[in-house]
Amino acid sequence: MWRIVAVAAILVGALAMSGRAAAQSSISSAAYVLPGCRSFVAGKAMHDVSTQRICVEQVEASLLAGDRICPPRVLTTGQFVRMVTRYIERRPRRKGEPFASLTKEALRTTFPCR
C-alpha cells in the first residue's frame, strides 16, 4: 500500500512540475518570445522566424496603442526591441509572464508621458 502512495506522490509532483514548465514556455510568455527578440536585435536569421515576428509586432503594437507611453520619434524599431529585451532580461524571474504585459511595462517605465 505504501508503494502505491509513494508512486502517486511522485506522479502528482511530476505533473505539477510539468505544468509550471509548460506555463513558462507558453507562446505568450517572455521566455518563449525573448529568443526572437535577441536574434532580431543581433540581426541574425532564425530557423523559425515566428518568435521574431511576435516580438517586433508586439513592441510596435504597444507603441501604437500609446497607453501612457510617450516615446521619442527618432528611435527605430530595433532600438525599441533592444530596450524591451534588456528590460526583461534584467528581470529573469518574470520571464514566465506574458511578453505583451512586460513590453508595455518596459515602454511605460522608460518613456512615461509627462
CATH topology of domain 27-110: 10k-s Protein, Hypothetical Protein A; Chain A (1.10.890)
State which amino acid sits at residue 59: V
Residue 46 CA to residue 71 CA, distance in Å, equals 29
What's the mean pLDDT in 104-110?
95
Percent of the chain with pLDDT over 70: 78
Average pLDDT over the chain, rounded to an integer: 81
In tens, the pLDDT along 30-40 reads 999 999 999 99
In tens, the pLDDT along 38-56 reads 999 999 877 778 899 999 9
Q: Please give the pLDDT value at position 2.
A: 41
Going by C-alpha positions, the residue among 94, 63, 96 that lies closest to residue 78 is: 63
CB 112 within 8 A of CB 70: yes
What pTM was estimated for this model as a whole?
0.75
Domain boundaries, the chain: 27-110
